[in-house]
Structure 1
Amino acid sequence: MTDHDLVRDARDRLTRAALGLARAPLSVAGLALIPLQLYAYPLILVTVGVPLLLLFTALARRYTGFFRRWAAGVLRVEIPAPHRLPANRGPMTRVRTIATDPATWRDLAFLPVNAVTGVVCGVLPVALWLGGLFGFAAPLVWLDHGDVRYVVIGHDTPGNVVLAPLLGLAVLALAWWVTPRATRLHARVVRWLLAPSATTALTDRVRVLADSRADTVDAQAAELRRIERDLHDGAQARLVALGLGLGLAEELLARDPDAARELLAEARRTSTEALAELRGLVRGIHPPVLADRGLEGALRALALAHPLPVEVDVELPGRPEAPVESAAYFAVAETLTNVAKHSGATDAWVRVRHEGGRLSLMIGDNGRGGAEAAEGGGLRGIERRLGAFDGRLGIASPVGGPTIVTMELPCELSSVKTSSSSGTA
């Protein structure tokens, strides 16, 4: 190891020791979250506890999230959050999820353990560094009439002048060895308490998949009922009328050609209308423009047909898988439909990106806000559609607006494609 590497390593360890000391009071500060969160539970009975519990739980999760990210950086491993997600549903549903989530109580158990570990792992390295430096400085500090006296040991012998620096050197070597290990020990404790166990992760994954499967089955059943209803009330009825009209025309063909001609013209109009309805039904299942021009072209066509001005900004280096592409298209279409029906907006925008193996979509408007994924609503249906692909839906819609709906879908892109953006009116 060169002198430059030695100096750099020493600087790194001293920095770690200083940061560890800075984390010590932060670790102790987390103890205040324990009574705050526990105090909110009995207050749920008088309603005021609901917002308090949501607030204090959010603070606790942000606090533990800081240490989780720090530990992940130290250990160079991913430490996922074990909390049950989410929901954009009512506050009581969220409170029930929080109260029954084992990760909530693990967070509370983490706070006192982290306080002790943080103080020990933060103070010990700094104390060793200071102790080692004191061993070098002590013989030069206490002078009595020109004679060196090492008052810590208590003997007035010059031999202590040599002994003190040797002890300081030993303590500095110990500090050199302890500093990175203390940091890693603290990080391991954080990971042990905050990372989901294999059983918990598997259980949560099974639960998520079961919920997603149930939502997907419900959505598919609803879609089949819609298709059946559209066929029964639309194209099927017109085809039945077409058959009756052709039968009457056949009977009148010999004795009243003019009436038969009128019936045939009416049958032609009926067949045209039935064909148009069938095409509309097919577009509702999988739009041809989506298959031909991809997500970008389909969204641009969707924006052109929208009653409001919609700006489309798509930047995709490739094309998503067909099921993901279809889910993304219909999610955007449903969101824009809600914008037109309920938001009172004068314009909207759509932004699509692919980063980190995830397809990200953002839809915004300048409407009145207040949107939420209520049960039975369009946004709840979008949430179910995305859930089938491990996707997520986020809604930021304060009263008074604006509204921004974000969607994320894990996917990989296929062929390379150019990026573009467009504004439509």
Structure 2
Amino acid sequence: MESVETRDWIRDGLRAVAAGALSIVLAVLNLPLFVLFVLSLVLTPVLGIGFFLLPAVTALIRLKANAARGMAAWHGVPIPRPYRPKPAGVAPVGWKRYHWIITDPATWRDFAWLLPGAVAGLVLGILTLAIPAYGVEGIVLLPLWIYLAEGWSGYAAMWPIESVGEGFLSLPMGLAILALGIAVAPYLRRADAWFVRLFLAPTRAAELRLRVDQLTVTRADTVDAQAAELRRIERDLHDGAQARLVSLGMTIGLAEELIERDPATARKLLSEARDNSSTALVELRHLVRGIHPPVLAERGLDGAVRALALSSRIPTTVDSDLTGRLETPVESAAYFAIAEGLANVQRHSGATFAYVSMHRLGDVLHLEVGDDGRGGADMTSGTGLAGMERRLAAFDGTMSLSSPPGGPTIVSMELPCASSSPRTMLSSGTD
């Protein structure tokens, strides 16, 4: 355990040192971007040069700011992008695009960050590099002196006794300073990330605007999904159970006409009607199960998912610590998302094993569906994964996919939830 923790500590520290070197390069780029932005503003009245120059410079600044946000997220400080969406019909250049950029508060927050960000990035980046570099210098100093002195005798003759002592002390001191530099490097990078967040994170108003935009999109997706679901139910009723019930009525009517003059044929028709009624009942049960499975209403999410795993063609295990019941819509969304995930495993993965994990932390339900298949799943191809994401988004849930070529594939989902009241639980269990 200690060796693993030591390796992780050293690995994280070395990554932070490398990130510090990169941050120095990125910080230097802030200075020319600052100058270009000022020039584009000053040259706007001059033959309209700014109308062409400002959008290009702003695009570069946003690219640079997004790179800083990405590095901050890599160090555990996520920063959402606060930019307003581009209005419809905005040309690559012109007054509308210029006005959209100039009136976006995020543009000016990016500009205000350029100089302070350059200073903070340079200072913290240099510190991140300088401490371990000083330690390396101390480690290399003693062997270098011995090499230059061509052996101990020449070394002792050329250097006074004080230098000899300093040379031997430089090795442990260098190791200690190197260890210190690797240890503090992640904290220095995180301090830089928090400084970036101070300037580049969305304001409260921007967060509310982004939230409204997200809810608008998810509501539209939910309405479309519900409309599609209603069309599916209507189609299944019309083509399945309704057609069979119509045929059943016609068969019974014909049997009524034949029961006096041809009882044998009438009995045969009634037997067919009984078979058709059984088939229609089965189709109705399947339709109801697709709307809200009875097993979900009776056993809750834990029991319903375990039933899904038992019916899967691929061996599937379920790891769950769920107790009690959740709100019915949340249970339904989680159940159908997991069902779609397992269906994708059976159809596309070529896996020999799958698993489902369900854990609740506070008011967040964490779900995971994984397999040992061939991998290569893509959110943009097909409708299964996209449908899962839309279903979760309707409840402010999120989904992420990890599926490198060769596998494994892991679909991770988070869904806000709250326990049902006893009254809701009682009604759910007795429906």
> Aligning the two structures, in what range does the TM-score lie when normalised by the shorter sequence?
0.5 to 0.7
Q: 1:83 is aligned with what amino acid? A: R
| Structure 1 range deviating more: 279-288 or 312-321 | 312-321
Match of 1:357 among 344, 357, 363: 363
Contact 2:373/2:409, CA 8 A, preserved across alignment: yes
Q: 1:110 is aligned with what amino acid? A: W
Contact 1:37/1:57, CA 8 A, preserved across alignment: no
Match of 1:194 among 181, 200, 205: 200
Match of 2:113 among 110, 114, 124: 110
Q: 1:31 is aligned with what amino acid? A: A
**Inter-CA distance 104–343: structure 2 relative to 1 (3 Å threshold):** farther
Q: 2:251 is aligned with what amino acid? A: G
1:218-237 alignment runs, 5 A limit: 218-237=224-243
Match of 1:215 among 221, 224, 233: 221
1:312 corresponds in structure 2 to 318
Extract unaligned runs of 5+ from structure 1. 1-22, 39-52, 70-79, 86-99, 124-184, 417-425
Contact 1:24/1:115, CA 8 A, preserved across alignment: no
Q: Answer yes or no: is 1:31 the counterpart of 2:39.
A: no
Contact 2:321/2:358, CA 8 A, preserved across alignment: yes
Give the deviation of 1:110 after TM superposition: 3.1
Counterparts of 2:253 and 2:229 in 1: how far apart (Å)? 34
TM-score w.r.t. length of structure 1: 0.61
Contact 1:27/1:114, CA 8 A, preserved across alignment: no
**Inter-CA distance 224–105: structure 2 relative to 1 (3 Å threshold):** farther
1:369 corresponds in structure 2 to 375
Q: 2:217 is aligned with what amino acid? A: D
Counterparts of 1:340 and 1:365 in 2: how far apart (Å)? 10
* Alignment root-mean-square deviation, CA: 3.9
| Structure 1 range deviating more: 108-117 or 365-374 | 108-117
Give the deviation of 1:377 after TM superposition: 1.3
2:148 corresponds in structure 1 to none
1:230-379 alignment runs, 5 A limit: 230-374=236-380, 376-379=382-385
**Inter-CA distance 191–266: structure 2 relative to 1 (3 Å threshold):** same
Extract unaligned runs of 5+ from structure 2. 1-18, 35-60, 84-100, 127-190, 423-431
Contact 1:313/1:350, CA 8 A, preserved across alignment: yes
Q: 2:416 is aligned with what amino acid? A: P
**Inter-CA distance 407–56: structure 2 relative to 1 (3 Å threshold):** farther
Contact 1:245/1:267, CA 8 A, preserved across alignment: yes
Counterparts of 1:122 and 1:399 in 2: how far apart (Å)? 36
**Inter-CA distance 359–68: structure 2 relative to 1 (3 Å threshold):** closer
CA-to-partner distance for each residue in 1:173-212, whole Å, 9 max, x for gaps?
xxxxxxxxxxxx9999655413311221121111101100
**Inter-CA distance 239–66: structure 2 relative to 1 (3 Å threshold):** closer
**Inter-CA distance 344–66: structure 2 relative to 1 (3 Å threshold):** closer
Counterparts of 2:347 and 2:258 in 1: how far apart (Å)? 49
1:419 corresponds in structure 2 to none
Match of 2:81 among 73, 83, 88: 83
TM-score w.r.t. length of structure 2: 0.60
Q: 1:345 is aligned with what amino acid? A: A
CA-to-partner distance for each residue in 1:248-307, whole Å, 9 max, x for gaps?
100011111111111111101100100010001000000011011000000011111111
Identity rate, percent: 58
SS of equivalent to 2:346: helix
Q: 2:313 is aligned with what amino acid? A: P
Q: 1:209 is aligned with what amino acid? A: L
1:143 corresponds in structure 2 to none
Counterparts of 2:70 and 2:367 in 1: how far apart (Å)? 25
SS of equivalent to 2:324: coil
Counterparts of 1:288 and 1:119 in 2: how far apart (Å)? 62
Q: Answer yes or no: is 1:383 the counterpart of 2:375.
A: no
Contact 2:21/2:125, CA 8 A, preserved across alignment: no
CA-to-partner distance for each residue in 1:24-46, whole Å, 9 max, x for gaps?
999756515759999xxxxxxxx
**Inter-CA distance 246–35: structure 2 relative to 1 (3 Å threshold):** farther
**Inter-CA distance 368–261: structure 2 relative to 1 (3 Å threshold):** same
Question: How many residue pairs get matched?
Answer: 297
